[in-house]
Structure formats: structure tokens, C-alpha cells
Chains A and B, each alone.
Chain A
Amino acid sequence: MTFEQDKIRNFCIVAHIDHGKSTLADRMIQMTGLLTEREMQAQVLDNMELERERGITIKSQAVRLIYHAKDGNEYIFNLIDTPGHVDFNYEVSRSLAACDGAILVVDAAQGIEAQTLANVYLALDHDLDVIPVINKVDLPSADPDRVKDEIEDVIGIEAQDAPCISAKTGLNVEDVLEEIVTKLPAPTGDATAPLQALIFDSLYDAYRGVIVFCRIKEGTLKAGMKVRMMATGAVEEVVEVGYFGAGQFIPCDELPAGTVGYFTASIKDVQETRVGDTVTEHNRPCAEPLPGYKKVNPMVYCGLYPADSSKYTDLRDALEKLQLNDAALQFEPETSIALGFGFRCGFLGLLHLDVIQERLEREYNLDLVTTAPGVVYRVHKTDGTMIELTNPSNLPDPSEIDYMEEPVVDAEIMVTSEYVGAVMDLCQERRGIYVSMEYMEETRALIKYVLPLNEIIYDFFDALKSRTRGYASFDYEMKGYVESKLVKLDVLINKETVDALSFIVFEGTAYERGRKMCEKLKGEIPRHMFEIPIQAAIGNKVIARETVKAMRKDVLAKCYGGDISRKKKLLEKQKEGKKRMRQVGNVEIPQEAFMSVLKLDED
């Protein structure tokens, strides 16, 4: 079935986390009748197990809906789901570029939050028409009129007529569907022009190779066509084109300008199709690629090692596959004396790291050891050269270092007025530089700080939540690099440096960090047959020390009558426990210890 361009709407939903984006998407899918009640699992769009569990949307996805509007016509809705977290800003921006309009969902009780602002500005930057929707009006604390005023005051878009809905119950969602028809623009583009299509996502399928998700801006994409990815230069022949059903791919003859769909081309090399790249016809290319493609740069690095060293190639394969869907994930091989062969991986942020780590463990069944995450430092050497340092072990000798720089971010924290003091204290402790504070309204303030990135990658978000009882929202973007006094902190266990435990730290907080690190490790390393000193050192200078005493007594030595198998299980557990240890010198270190630096601020 072919549709005229003016009967197509390509849009996305933007919202702050938890404001009900996925629920609204589910409701729309249900109301447009593509799915029966029975098929309707909660949150159809979030199809990854992990997403469902965490309640966040990680990968953008798309679905095509058929809507019978009140004007008697049938419309195609291409709903493109976008991730909500600050770590995934680039993916959000690519998803937005595939749309012509956006629905802004705002919680009727909480009103505008930091990410609401960030996402809506991003949408406006892409020239999308934005229609506001007030959600959760069924909550007792809902105050839709206040939120409408807030949208007009803060964002500056008309909101008095915004539908007041409950995505949960379905109340007034019909109005949203009508507004999509009447208020959002139809796509434009010439179906006969040279092909110009934007890749906004991709997926690896073991049978079909890479499945590329794209928005056709100009021209028509058909099976059999020879296409070229303009940034990577890869040339492939299209095998199949189609659109997105609910949770499935539905092949069709062609994708004309204005449509959203997918294509496959037996692409095996995961590096060929990058999110943000432009696809064109090889023999009849468009004049220039679509704007906005950039290779995203990771901001956080850490080492990932297989717990079982024989799984090294499995880990590499898994990372390659994940990288396909995730242009931001970077990795290169590295070795550690303590951990063996692994990869130094780059991530957009800590959540991104967490998500990748969990996907590796769940979807690829890998057991991982992660080293403490760090940021990219710039080391200016006395010979005038500069290196970007992603692994603390590679820090040059202090005599070769002229000065070092660390990345800082512009941070925006929105918080109710009673917690302003607590937030400012926290930022101060984290070496923040105060920029400004403005009251959005009487009870809420937007606080701006410049913060070193390495101060927020560990647990800043948790600390913020706990100090404000969850009433703060946080957003940041990279600002640049500033000079800083940084040192490398080494950890010695039984007099041997454990490379995987080294990290870069601000000189002023090194002593405190070293002390906490030793304390933490003392709790992580089991007693051995001998005494084990744990030391933290900067260069040759030891700044903290703890001791793990020698083991004296097994507290589990009982045996139960004739039930020998229980005893054997206990002994097997004891032996198995050893296998999960890393040998450094003659000390066995549990894998968890390598991650203990992450939790230095928990007390």
C-alpha cells in the first residue's frame, strides 16, 4: 500500500525520565489498533529485557501505526522512541533528526525538569514542531494549569490547549492522536530525487546481518539498489526494505521520501553503518550528506576483563556486536599484570557503562571484572607534545610532565528551594565552581556549576539524590579542559603494585582517597595464611596503609552426621571461591575488589 506524503507523520516523544513517555507510546500503539489487549505487554517498545527491568529506554526504536482520523482519512504514524538519559544525548539528537515533530510529555505534578528542558531545546534545534501534552492528570497532586503556565513561561510554546491526559488510564489520549494529524507537519521530500537517508539506529541480526533503521529524506530506497554510506564509504547492495510493525519487521517494495523504515544488505562488518551517517545511491549520489553526523567521543573509560581469561575472544565479539547498535561505545585491547587480557572501553557516561556491562553479562553470558572508571586527561609533556590519557598506567614519568588538564562540565541542577544549600555544599565538595542560580518560580531554582567530570562519574548522582531526597534533577554537558593538579595513586598489595587499581586523582584529595581505598580493600581481601599489607602510594611515597591479618580459624568446620554431600559442597564452594580470585604475587584478590574504588564514598 502506498501512502501519499501528506498522510504521513514522523514524530517522537520527548520527556524527562519517568514522566510517562513509554506508557504513552504503549497506549498509542494500543489505541491505533495494531495490537489486541492480549498482545499488549506492558511497555511494548522497550523490548530489551534490561530496559524493562530498569524502566528506562536505552536504544531508540521505531514503530509504524495506522490511525483512522476524524477527518475520515487513514494516516501513517511513525513513532520514533528516544532514550531519555543525558548519557545518550547524541542518540536522541539523531532520532530527532529523523522526525518532523515532537510530542512533549510533562508530568502534571512535577512540571518541567532539567531533562525536559534539555530534550525540548534539542527538538527545537532540529526545527521540530512541538506539541505539549500534560500527563498523569489522574494523580491527586496533579496541577495541569500551573504546568501549562510553566511550559509557556519557561519554554515559550503555546500550551493552554494542551491535552490533559492519563497515559496510564487512556484518558484523552485520542486528543493527542488528533493533534498529531492537525498540528504536526507532513514530511516533505522528492521521491524522484537522488537518495538521501539518515541512519538513526541499527541492529545486528545473526541471519540478515546489520539491519539499518533510516529516515528517507529525499529519493526512494528499493531492494536491489546499490547504496553508499557517506561517512564510512561502505558500498552495499540492498537486499530488503520494510517498515516497523509492533515488535517485528514487515518487508515492502520501496521506501519513498518522507517514510521511516529499515533495510538490510548482508552487511557483516559492524563498523560500516554508523548512527548519524547518510545513505545515498552509489551511482546517483546526492550532492551532500545530511548535517549533524559526528563521531561521538566517549567521556568515561574503564578496563573490562573477562573473569575467565579464556573468554577473551568472546568478549571481543560481544563488544563488536554491541558497538554496532551503539556508535558511542569504543574499545581497544589492553593488558594488565593483575587481570590479564582485556579491553579499555570508552563510554558516554556511567549509566552507559553500566548498561553495556549488564548487557555483556546477560545477553552474552560473560562474567566481567571492571576497573575503576576514569575520564580522559590531557597530559602536556615537557617536550611540547600532548597525550590523551585514558589508562592511568600510561601516565608518563612525572619528570616528563609539564602540566595536566582534566575535563569539566557545565552542570545544571534543578531543585526545590529547601535543598539549595545541600546541593551547593555537594558541588563545593566536588570542586565545583559556582556559576549562577535563578529561580524558575518561587519554590524551584536552577543552579549552574562548572564541575570536574571525574568528580561526577562515580556517585555524584546518587549523592545528589540522597541529599535532596530525590527532589533534584541533573543535566550536564562537556565544557572543555582546565589545568589541574593531578597525581597517580598506586595501590600496593603485599608490596606489589596492582596496576588495575591505579587511578588519577586531584592532588588535594589524594590522601583521603588513598586512605579510604586501603580501608575498603582491607574489607575485600580475604585473610590468607600470612599477613598482607595494603598501601596507597604516590610515586614512592606511601600515604596510607592497612593490614589484612593472617587467617586463624575457619568458622565453618561442622559436619552433619552422615550427610557428607553437604560437607563436600562447602569445600567445593571454598575451592570455587579461589577460582574467582586474581593472583597478584602470592595474594589472591577477589574480582569485586577491583570495583571497590567505585564505592569509596559509601559509608
Chain B
Amino acid sequence: MRRTYTAALVKELEYQGKTYRYPLRSIYFGGGTPTWLETDCIKLIMDTIVKWFRINEGAEITLECNPGTVTRDSLRAFHMMGFNRLSIGLQSANEDELKLLGRVHDLKRFLHTFELARNAGFMNINVDVMTGLPYQNPQKLQNTLDTVVRLHPEHISAYSLIIEKGTPFYEKYQFDSVRQEAGMQTEILPTEDQVYELTKQTEHFLAANGYRKYEISNFAKPGYEGEHNSGYWTMVPYLGAGLGASSYIDGVRYSNKTNIYDYIEASEAYDRNDTAGNHWMDEETLQSRTRNDEMEEFMFLGLRMTDGVSLADFEERFGTRMDLIYRDVIAELRREELLDMYEGRVFLTERGMDLSNYAMAKFLLED
């Protein structure tokens, strides 16, 4: 199956490479655990990209991996192929939390992986950690943070756990999750107040250790802000290839098919040359987009970054002034001290970041 999938993905990349007209500023292998594929499969994919796309000089090329799915040899091979950034999903340094998350690795294995990565030549490493885990307390979180900071990774992503439909967690914690959202007393998950404290603890500790918060969940040493992620928030076009991947090209958003058999069938159809066009796209996800959609996204995506959005960029993109469209919203959020304006930029305050959904939802326009 892995090889069949790789072959299918290579076909898609070949097709996309022929039609995509922008040079690549960054490449990201991720979402899930791409290192689940054999090293030669990843090489084949990388080679295909190099063959069919134009890649900018110094482009950020990231590989996401989980501790234990890589070896000294594979990491060396990845570095040789051109990957210059590695993202390691640690999540937690505490055994009980890892077990709860259903992770197969342990702390020892993570430390080993990190060391191997440095030795293989990765000088830009991100570590994912998670806050808001069931039963998490400040001591446990601190243990994770200490462990990570001691290794001096260039970048740290600190996401809070979200209990979502369709995940195994949902069955287990759905009631608690509703209570948590409503700011009520919870049984297993931390309460809203506790999540707040845990987030603040993370932010303060990372800031004290030289990591700047540049986005809601992302921290970096100066100069190591994730190029690829920031692209999503600034509405740069991006192409997603592979099962279920999302794309945003020339103002159009769509996602690929999510059923692996359908996906493979798409590549076969492409091979048979049945019909022209994008076989991998799930037609139902194709969105016709209005100017309002674009303005909303410009705002709520841009505000994820601590630097916020620029009034000039907005005007250039939409031909109208932001304060004409959003005057009341901006005034209201400023009054509530969730948002501020300085030197031509609009950005969320620290409290605004904490209450980002509340603030961002205000930027949705009526149809």
C-alpha cells in the first residue's frame, strides 16, 4: 500500500508540477507522520518535486516526524535529499500523557532522535508540545518545557488539545469538552482557567528563554519563524499534494480526495489519460470565493500572527480601506482591549490572542 500510494502521489506531483505556475518558497512534508513511508519512497517524492517544480534558492524544506520512526541513516538521507528543517512531534515529556495520547514513543527515544537529527546536520528543528492535556498540571507542563528548552530547538509549537468529533478522544471526553468550552468545572480536562494558566506558563517560560511568540501557537528564536506556516496566514498561494491535502491557488480553495482508494484511482485515471484536468481534487470542496470571503480570511488568518495585518496590504489587495469595512468591529475590539493599532498595523493584544475566536468571529461579514 505504501508503495502504491507513493506511486499515486508521484503522479499527482507530476501533473501539478506541469500546471502550477509559482516557484516554491517552502516545502512541507507533513500532517501525520510522513516518515511512516520508507526512506526511498520519500526520496522518490522529493526527486519528483525537484524534477517538476521550480524551487527558490534557500527555500525552507521541512519534514515532520515522530520520535522512533527515524534512524541515524534515514535522517542523514533526508538531509542529503535537501530537507533543511525537521519538525519532531514530542507532545509531552511525561510518560502518562504520552500513553493517553496513544503515542508509541517515550522520552528517551525523543532525546535520541533529537541528537541524531543534530548529528545528521539539521540546524533548524521544531518541537511540538501540547498543553491542555487531560490531568495536566503546571508541574507536568514544566517538565515538558524544561526538557525541550534544554535542547535549544530553533522553533517550538505549543498547541492546546482540542477534542474534536471523529477522533478517539471525542468519545471519551466529549462531555468534558463541552463543559470546558462553557467555562465550567471539568472532570478530566483542565478547566478554562487552568488552560489559561498553562498557556501563560508556556508563554512566559519560552519568552524568558529567548523564544518569541510570533503566532497564536508558535514560538521561535529570532530569524527562525516558520516560513511555511506563515504563508497560510498571509494568503500566499499554496499547493497541497497527497491524500486530503488542501490548496489555495489564484483565489480558489479546494481539498483532495480523502479516501485512499479514490485517490489511487485518480492517478490511474490520469495514467490512462481518460480525461484532462485535476483527478485528485474532491470536487465538493471546491469553493467559489467572494471578495467578502477573501477579506474575512485576510483578517482572521492575519490576526493569528502577533504582528497582525497591515492596513496598506489590505488596501492594496482589496482596493478599499480596512477601516471602512471593519470600522465598528475594530472600534469595539479596541474598546474591549482585545485589539490594537500601531504604525499602520492592526493586531491582537495579548488578551486578544487568548480570546482569539471571539475576536476573529467578529470579522466575519454578513452575506
Roughly how many angstroms separate A560 CA and B31 CA in the complex, as a whole number? 9
Nearest CB in chain B to that of A529: its residue: B336
Contact B183 A571 (CB under 8 A): no
**Residue-by-residue, is B352-367 near A (CB-CB < 8 Å gives 1, otherwise 0)?**
0011111011101000
Report the stretch among A251-259, A275-283, A417-425, A545-553 that lies at the interface.
A545-553
CB atoms of B217 and A553 under 8 A apart: no
Number of interface residues of A (CB under 8 A): 29
Interface membership of chain B positions 220-260, coded 1 if the CB is closer than 8 angstroms to chain A and 0 otherwise: 00000000000010000010100001111000010100000
> Do B216 and A557 touch (CB < 8 A)?
yes
A555 engages B132 (CB within 8 Å) = yes
Q: Does A291 contact B (CB under 8 A)?
A: no
Do B297 and A564 touch (CB < 8 A)?
yes
* B361 x A555 contact (CB < 8 A): no
A509-546: CB near B (< 8 Å → 1, else 0) gives 00000000000000100110100000000000000000
| Chain B residues, CB < 8 A from A575 | 361-362, 364
Q: Which residue of chain A has its CB nearest to the CB of B366?
A: A575
- Comparing B90-98, B107-115, B188-196, B339-347, the segment that makes contact with chain A is B188-196
CB distance from B229 to the nearest CB of A (A): 8
Determine if A192 is an interface residue (Cβ-Cβ < 8 Å).
no
When the two chains form their complex, are residues A568 and B296 in contact, meaning their CB atoms are under 8 A apart? yes
A332 at the interface (CB under 8 A from B): no
Report the bound CA distance from A560 to B217 in whole Å: 11
A558-B285 contact, Cβ under 8 Å, with A564-B246, A574-B358? no
Chain B residues touching A, majority SS: mixed
- CA A563 – CA B297 in complex, angstroms? 12
Q: Are B162's CB and A563's CB within 8 A? A: no
Say how far B294's CB is from chain A's closest CB, in angstroms. Answer: 11
- How long is the Cα–Cα vector from A554 to B354 in the complex, in angstroms? 6
A-B contact count (CB 8 A): 104
Majority-rule SS of A interface residues: loop
Interface membership of B279, Cβ < 8 A:
no
For residue B183, which residues in chain A have a CB less than 8 angstroms away from its CB?
526-527, 548-549, 551
Question: Which of these, A529, A551, A562, A567, contacts B247 with CB under 8 Å?
Answer: A562
Q: Is B300 an interface residue (CB 8 A)?
A: yes
Q: Which of B184, B336, B355, B364 contacts A554 (CB 8 A)?
A: B355
Taking CB atoms, residues of chain A closer than 8 Å to B240 are: 561-562
Residues on A with C-beta less than 8 A from B362 are: 575
Which residues in B have their C-beta under 8 angstroms from that of A206?
none
A binding-site residues for B, Cβ under 8 Å: 523, 526-527, 529, 548-549, 551-565, 567-568, 570-572, 574-575, 578
Seen from chain B, the residues whose Cβ lies within 8 Å of a Cβ on chain A are 30-31, 132, 159-160, 162, 180-184, 192-193, 195-196, 199, 216-217, 232, 238, 240, 245-248, 253, 255, 285, 287, 296-297, 300-301, 304, 336, 338, 354-358, 360-362, 364
A-B residue pairs in contact (CB < 8 Å), sample of 10: A527-B183, A529-B338, A552-B192, A554-B356, A555-B195, A561-B31, A561-B246, A562-B245, A565-B253, A572-B361
Seed contacts A552-B192, A556-B162, A562-B238; 18 additional CB < 8 Å A-B pairs: A529-B336, A551-B192, A553-B195, A553-B355, A555-B132, A555-B181, A555-B195, A561-B232, A561-B246, A562-B240, A563-B246, A565-B246, A567-B301, A568-B300, A571-B360, A572-B364, A574-B357, A575-B361
